[in-house]
Amino acid sequence: MKVVTSAHELPSGCAFVPTMGALHAGHASLFTIAKKVHTNVVASIFVNPLQFEKQEDLDKYPRTPIEDIDLAANSGVTHLWLPHYSEIYPEGFSTIKAGPIANLYEGKSRPGHFDGVVTVVRRLFDLVKPNFAVFGEKDFQQLILIEEIAQGIEIVRAPIIREADGLAMSSRNVRLTPEGRSAAAVISRALSLAKSESELREMLSSEPQLTLDYADFIDEETFQPAQRDSTSVRAIVAGWINSVRLIDNMRMEARA
């Protein structure tokens, strides 16, 4: 694996996996998928300040550079790009606005977050010029918005990777206390068992350590509340445990 600090050192043509570091098995699964669609697998590590609402959240974001390099090298990455801020955001750069879906759910709770996400992803795409880009379904709303700005890049969806107890893998999970980590399993458990929106909320409300933000059944095509005739329904959940924001989602197949 080659570690580079400039996009000029990247190959022409690749499958691209942008990350913010603190890599884990979920990221490794993205790299494995990328390797299946292209010989060159480029991963980037860049903690994007534009998508954090508070400076303290940016400061607390976990950073594990040595471990990240080892995981990337062992997971099929051919080029690990560690860009400088000035390469991503040169003087005079312009931010872009995410689409209307960005005002819902995560966007409603975190104003400006998705503008920061699509701005950095657009910049990364412009610099890397990949053939494919791999994104996980855990950040499902983000995935939909990125598909809207792909402009000829094929977006490959990757399934959520979970811990043994079902908790969706996230770099933020390390900030949970042991008690909070145990309590967090309620999210995936409720998603797996609930047959209705009301049942989902009831199950989640049974965990006192979880402060729920939203728990809804949505139509995947419109991101509006699911209707009787919705053919693609997904349950989405967000909340806090130990002041750590946790998000998850699951496709809702017909449940007896």
Enumerate the active-site residues.
Answer: 27
Residue 177 DSSP SS3: coil
Q: How many Cβ atoms are within 10 Å of 166's Cβ, its own excluded?
A: 17
Whether 160 contacts 136, CB under 8 Å: yes
Question: Which residue reads 């053939």 in tokens?
Answer: 131
The identity of residue 187, as a single letter, is I
Whether 148 contacts 125, CB under 8 Å: no
By CB atoms closer than 10 A (0-12, 13-18, 19+), residue 119 is buried
The identity of residue 206, as a single letter, is S
Backbone angles phi, psi at 162, to 5 degrees: -120, 155
The identity of residue 20, as a single letter, is M
Name the helix (H) or strand (E) containing 47.
Answer: none
The identity of residue 156, as a single letter, is V
How far, in Å, CA of 36 to CA of 50, rounded?
31
How far, in Å, CA of 201 to CA of 194, rounded?
9
